[in-house]
Structure 1
Amino acid sequence: MAEWKNWSGSVSARPAQVAKPKTEDELARIVREARKLRVVGAGHSFMPLCATDGALLSLAELEGGIEFNADKSRVWAPAGASLADLTAALWAQGVSLINQGDVNPQALAGAISTGTHGTGRELGSLSTAARAFRLMLADGSIVTCSETENPDLFQAQRLSLGMLGVATRIEIDVLPAYHLEEKLESHPFDWVAENWDEMAASNRHVEFFVFPYGKNVVLKRLNPVPGEGPLAQKNDMDESAFRMVCDVCSVAPFLTSMLQPAIVPPGVRQRRVGPAYQIFPSDRTVRFEEMEYEIPREAGWAALREVIAWIKKRNLPVTFPFEFRIIAADDIWLSPFNAGPCVSISMHQYAKMKWREMFAEAEQIFRAHGGRPHWAKRHTLNRADVDALYPQAQRFRDVRAAYDPSGKFLNAHLAPLFGPEPA
């Protein structure tokens, strides 16, 4: 059995079978015969969502293209398509996703089933764009679900962590293709805090990156504008200097607090315009581990200030910046945004450096401010935590059990949280 690892290298497994089915008939045979089964996209989950000793499937080569409705406001798309390939194909047909995150190798199904998101005060996660699913169940049969067809299955499938079946196609909302202007600037942290509410209200997308020992933050604002020709600069930031700092700090962690202030100098001003699908994502090549908590919007700044103060007090070698975004509320059962609008605080650590104990302590700060974790990023929730944070958790479990009574799509990580309650 060959070893499988996720993108960061921290999750590994030895599946009994690895397959890339090309047809639904081939997929159905594998699903029927498998004792346990998980589907993997780009392996961008930091939690062991895809880890299995059973069958590990990729849908990247599964048959099927994109199919639009009459007015091109919705499209049926291959669930296994990467966001990179899908958004390019959609652009060629004159449409764009409503929103995207800042990387695009993930499979569409993986992004939707984990609640992946971008930023924007009025914009929800990618899960909120899903309108219907074509789903292969544990016995290899196919079912379609939407708000009107198998509605309980649809509500659970909107953010399912892959526990209900294998999504082969997903119908999603789209918009007429649009260009984005990206403005990247450095500003003092306190200036951003003072002006945040106004910027959040006046920009379609706004976020920032702040190093715990830095004086300036990198502020990013995106807004729709007319196109200005081909996009010359493909990435938002050059990572070469940052990579060198990370490598130095991995050998000499005590230098972290001294080197960080120089990473973001004052006076940075950068602008570029391009197709939305090219502006949203960036190529992140410095490997990291990540924890992300979604925190009620009114508590977000207090949580960020507290976690930074804790790092400074302990002089902890956190080499990566925090990423701070805003996301709209939704009504999805397992969504961390279903209790109201949130800010998203992402904490990263260089993959070559220790992260587990720091994340566990920082998690307590985020939890104390009412936070819920991104399901695909590092967290330590147990079953009681899930029940306390998600009033619809048992309803989700009931639907899961009805459609997969044997727990074929569970694994060692998911079963304690969402499987039958231990006797």
Structure 2
Amino acid sequence: MADWSNWSGSVRAAPAQFEQPKTVAELQALVRGAAKVRVVGAGHSFTPLCETDGLLLNLSELEGELVIAPDRKTVTAPAGWSLKRLTKALWDEGLSLANQGDVNPQSLAGALGTGTHGTGRDLGSLSTMVRGFSSVMADGALVETSRTQDPDLFEAQRLSLGLFGVAVAATIDVLPAYKLEERVEKKPMAWVYENFDDLAQRHRHAEFFVFPYADDAIVKTLHPIEAEDTPRGKPSNEEDTFRFCCDMTKAFPFLAGPIQRFVTGASGDVHKVGPAYRIFPSTRNIRFEEMEYELPRAAGLPALREAITWIRKTRRPVAFPFEFRWAAGDDIWISPFNKGPGASISMHQYAKMPWRDLFSQAEPIFRAHGGRPHWGKRHFLSRGEVDILYPQAERFREVRRRTDPTGKFLNTHLADLFS
């Protein structure tokens, strides 16, 4: 096939074979006969998780349907379905996910396998919602796992990085369908530093976006509500304006400050109500690169303040804002939230601008505050650092060696960390 690239364009691969199997039997034969296998969904990981010169699989056309448990508390869903397809199908059945991130093209398997999360003081990543998997293993066998069926394999699969077979279906927790009220408003950054903790306590979901050279932030809250949907408005031209501003920043980096203050100042308030599956995701068409660190909750705002101060002091050209949110802790072996409640800082850069040095020099700030990276976002960890940050890393590797002794699901990036 032609070369493959991820969404941002920064990861490229030349797989020897690309397949979209339609049946589980076809998938089993493909996996059994391949020397190296990786699976790709929407390509929204910024790290080279899907990079391979072997077999690259996409499961969007694989057979499967949504199966709802009798108690309606869990569903079993095709792992290759996009979150967009899954959440619409759930809504049609009177169900919703407890939480989502702010985009929805990712496959269910990809979101689970990287620990994708949304925002919310008491809400964990999508990986915390899993109750079982059906997976094609390295030898082509179809295996069921759960807390009672090969529990070690199940624990590793909860955040797997695609190292423990090809997930065909996942059983996940769901809730009765609900609506959300979204409010977006501009606040002085000094107010945000002072009041974010209270804001996050009062709302089910609270986050903010702040450009490093702006003095105001864009604050967003979501809260369950029983109300009529607000009418869908006409498409906004804000994205075109922002793209122009990014291109101007690329061409004239010294204008980053005035441009960011203009973008923030031009931002208007938003209020809308609708089905949760429609309110959670936002449109993200302007390509960017991203590094995200999860920190102990109390360290979040101090780390963000230090990163912004560093950018201003060194006059780094940055076109995109930081995103700041909270997420709940968990007990998943290599989850960056497994030490307790976390604060998440996402650092972005326009895809047309240099990002590697920016991220590598900012990373020590987040590490010094106890941070650990999101596995699907840019990071520069070594194997030794993984072992320091994750006491269960070797247990994770032991399960990988048992279930995939030849390293079929490894690629160069993952072998450096988990071989």
Separation (CA, whole Å) in 2 of partners of 1:415 and 1:320: 32
Q: Which residue of 1 aligns with 2:240?
A: 240
Q: Which residue of 2 aligns with 1:359?
A: 359
What are the superposed Cα offsets for residues 327-379 of structure 1, whole Å, 9 maximum, x if unpaired? 00000001000011110000000000011001000001111111000000000
Q: Which residue of 1 aligns with 2:132?
A: 132
What are the superposed Cα offsets for residues 14-50 of structure 1, whole Å, 9 maximum, x if unpaired? 0000000000110011001110000000000000000
Separation (CA, whole Å) in 2 of partners of 1:221 and 1:49: 32
Q: 1:47 to 1:192 in 2, by over 3 A?
A: same
Q: 1:326 to 1:253 in 2, by over 3 A?
A: same
TM-score (norm 2): 0.98
Q: 1:148 to 1:236 in 2, by over 3 A?
A: farther
Q: Which residue of 2 aligns with 1:263?
A: 263
Q: How does 1:372-387 map to 2 (within 5 A)?
A: 372-387=372-387
Q: How does 1:113-152 map to 2 (within 5 A)?
A: 113-152=113-152
Q: Which residue of 2 aligns with 1:90?
A: 90
Separation (CA, whole Å) in 1 of partners of 2:238 and 2:41: 27
Consecutive unaligned residues in structure 1, runs of 5 or more: none
Please state how far the C-alpha of 1:269 moved relative to its aligned partner: 2.3
CA RMSD of aligned residues (A): 1.3
Q: Which residue of 2 aligns with 1:194?
A: 194
Q: 1:156 to 1:234 in 2, by over 3 A?
A: farther
Q: 1:227 to 1:152 in 2, by over 3 A?
A: same
Please state how far the C-alpha of 1:238 moved relative to its aligned partner: 2.9
Please state how far the C-alpha of 1:237 moved relative to its aligned partner: 8.9
Q: 1:192 to 1:338 in 2, by over 3 A?
A: same
Question: What letter is aligned with 2:199?
Answer: M
What are the superposed Cα offsets for residues 244-287 of structure 1, whole Å, 9 maximum, x if unpaired? 11011111112112211111128842200000000000111110
* 1:77 pairs with 2:52: no
Q: 1:183 to 1:92 in 2, by over 3 A?
A: same
After superposing the two structures, state which structure 1 stretch, 93-102 or 239-248, moved more. Answer: 239-248
Separation (CA, whole Å) in 2 of partners of 1:96 and 1:195: 30
Separation (CA, whole Å) in 1 of partners of 2:407 and 2:80: 22
8 Å Cα contact 1:216/1:266 also seen in 2: no
SS of 1:240's equivalent in the other structure is: helix
Separation (CA, whole Å) in 1 of partners of 2:235 and 2:3: 32
8 Å Cα contact 1:135/1:144 also seen in 2: yes
SS of 2:162's equivalent in the other structure is: coil
Question: What letter is aligned with 2:106?
Answer: Q
Separation (CA, whole Å) in 2 of partners of 1:48 and 1:205: 30
Q: Which residue of 1 aligns with 2:309?
A: 309
Please state how far the C-alpha of 1:236 moved relative to its aligned partner: 9.3
Q: Which residue of 2 aligns with 1:211?
A: 211
Q: Which residue of 2 aligns with 1:109?
A: 109
8 Å Cα contact 2:209/2:321 also seen in 1: yes
8 Å Cα contact 2:66/2:78 also seen in 1: yes
Question: What letter is aligned with 2:54?
Answer: G
Q: 1:236 to 1:110 in 2, by over 3 A?
A: farther
Q: 1:346 to 1:25 in 2, by over 3 A?
A: same
SS of 1:414's equivalent in the other structure is: helix
What are the superposed Cα offsets for residues 44-85 of structure 1, whole Å, 9 maximum, x if unpaired? 000000000000000000001000111211000000000001
Please state how far the C-alpha of 1:206 moved relative to its aligned partner: 0.1
Q: 1:353 to 1:282 in 2, by over 3 A?
A: same
Q: 1:236 to 1:105 in 2, by over 3 A?
A: farther
Identity %, equivalent residues? 60
8 Å Cα contact 2:206/2:220 also seen in 1: yes
